Structure 1
Amino acid sequence: MRHDLDTAIAGVVAAGLCSGCGACTLLDDGLTMRMSAAGFARPGRTRPAAATTSSAAASSQVRRFDQVCPGRNVAAQRPPGATRHPLLGPVLGCWEAWALDPELRRQGSSGGVLTALQAWLVETGEAVRSVAAGAAPDPRRTVAVQITTRDEALAAAGSRYAPVAVCAEPAASDAAGVTVGKPCEVSALRALTAGGPAPVLLSFFCAGTPSQRATDAVLADLGIGPDEPLASLWYRGHGWPGRFTATTDDGREASASYEESWGTTLGPAVQWRCKVCPDGIGESADVTAGDLWTTDERGYPLFAESDGVSALVARTPRGLDIVQRAFAAGVLAGRPVEPDEVVGVQPLQRARRSTLAGRLVGARLGGARVPRYRGFGLLRLAAGDVRAAVRTARGTFRRVRAGVARET
């Protein structure tokens, strides 16, 4: 049996466990992220693999991949001094917050806090750059971008509900910078830099990565053809939660509400790996942000347009220091909140984590591989509602047998 990096990567992709983070390309510069037929970012070889002098060297490279790849392994983090919340992960501080710069607040998702932090850190010279997701020259597509000014941070503001491999940008692992990534991306970078200097890692609450096909489908529903040039495309932002808004080169604008775009088309197109994710809340980051929704009497979010408000969680001593200084410098405003208040307005994250043990069991019984997850307390969470866990296991078993886990 071969034990080389290409074989290991092929196994993850074939099992539907690739998250599209791009971290494997940092282990071998002959690998590049490309769009798969299903519309997801997947690694492929563009240059021959470097010759290894021994099978031991090849095995060492595979072991490194196993440590880093979120499709193989994810470990819950326990930073010094942090209290571990069963659903929110490590917490050193928790706030309701927003950017004091009104333009950053309006264009960013929710309260614009991650945009404000990036802009502040690079403008003050504390970081040489920030690496984050932004629109490609064809704004239908999303790419990793480097941010060195407030204006560049503003241009990249807002969620991008589409495939992007932030880790594939070499600067993403630069300890002198900031990297803003999905939870799987920051967990890969945390593992990659374990025991050594790491960039400031910022993340956000994530419901998963939809196929690129879903973006194209929303545009088609709005009457914008695949060959029609776009001047801009916003998934969110320009208000809270903001509308999916596309503007053509000739000035025509078409939009759909957050509920219509995410709920009807983007959300249902999320890749399989995201459906078995233990961490939609960015546990491996220094700082994580998400929507602090207003909810109805059932606890479900209300999506009426308003000024954006973020839930902001400092997870590490480094993250706590950054957030506290950002408040003191007038970059952010807000008030402390309890972690339970944040979890209470995130029903999707609550449900996903509480039933994940059942989903993993159903997947395994259906014949699918699953990654190794350590330290998340998934069995304890499932024990809180055994019926829901069993129901989830049965549903996942049926989906896996129907071939969902093989969508790559």
Structure 2
Amino acid sequence: MATGSAVPVERRLPGDEARALLDLTRDLVDGELRPRAAADEAADRFPREVFRTLGRSGLLSLPYPERFGGGGQPYEVYLQVLEELAAGWLAVGLGVSVHTLSCHALAAFGTEEQRERWLPAMLGGEQLGAYCLSEPQSGSDAASLRTRADLEGEEYLVSGTKAWITHGGHADFYSTMARTSDEGARGISCLLVPGDAPGLSAAPPEHKMGMRSSPTAQLHFDGVRVARERLIGAEGQGFQIALAALDSGRLGIAACAVGVAQAALDLAVDWARSRRQFGRPIADFQGLSFLLADMATRIEAGRALYLAAARRRDDGLPFTREAAMAKLFCTDAAMQVTTDAVQVLGGYGYTQDYPAERYLREAKVLQIVEGTNQIQRLVIGRHLTGH
């Protein structure tokens, strides 16, 4: 039933089209995202209409085939767009990454009939997706999930609870991993669940230290009926599908981390140039200029790492290890850079009058989502040793 192939994307070297796409993204960031980010974060307000704007601009479907309504862009270009979005507002950049992740199962493992039926709407710009793998008692140990999908005739009856779902309660569709047998990881299957399915409900959003405008909630499946035709791949293939999606999703998180770090560096550099102490700009002091230099170097190294991994993906080469390395390095770098940015601003960096403290709070979650950085080290280590 499933193809299991990588999503077919025509290879395009970054050129005029890519530069135009990045220019469009920067214009949207400056005009639509950055001016309202702080207020919406403070108010815990989810900017659903912003995603519609991005969708109508073609930015919600960049790495998917044009014949299904996608942008046909290589990951190398898509991730740079994601970095720009995250630099303006992480909740939006990460939201686009999650939507892309939620489309991956159908695009890469669905049948041609399934793709033609559902993918154009998912990529059309009006819908927003979510990815349902984690549960209250299974985070890093995702293979131990308990949500069940029992086949009754031509429908699966889904019951259980998913946790830490970005866009939970707001998404139009959920790529959901559920247990169809008791065979461990081989008993997990993937279902494309409509957001308005009877019996599906969301708990109140989690109260988070950062990313407050991005709703994260538990999802309750209370006997949700899902048509058998919405099974993506074969029964028992869901864990394989989930891991394949996470490889790509980790590159999205890496790009978002570099975006947040770049925003923090830009703020710190502007502050160092304008802030005067002892009769001169604080940028003139070697201790501070060295700090800025280290921040910039971490960002450039992270950007090079995620782009190198993206090129492997675009060329059809294995990239699991490289994606884990990019996610690990870029998110750790973002945490260090945002911490240093607060230090550059001194007391002002610790207040909500400047975005430095928000960047710091946002960076932390990037070390956790799409597999903690401890899991990334485990993945990398296993690739090195073969165990």
Same fold (TM over 0.5): no
TM-score (norm 2): 0.27
TM-score (norm 1): 0.26
Higher share of residues assigned strand: 1
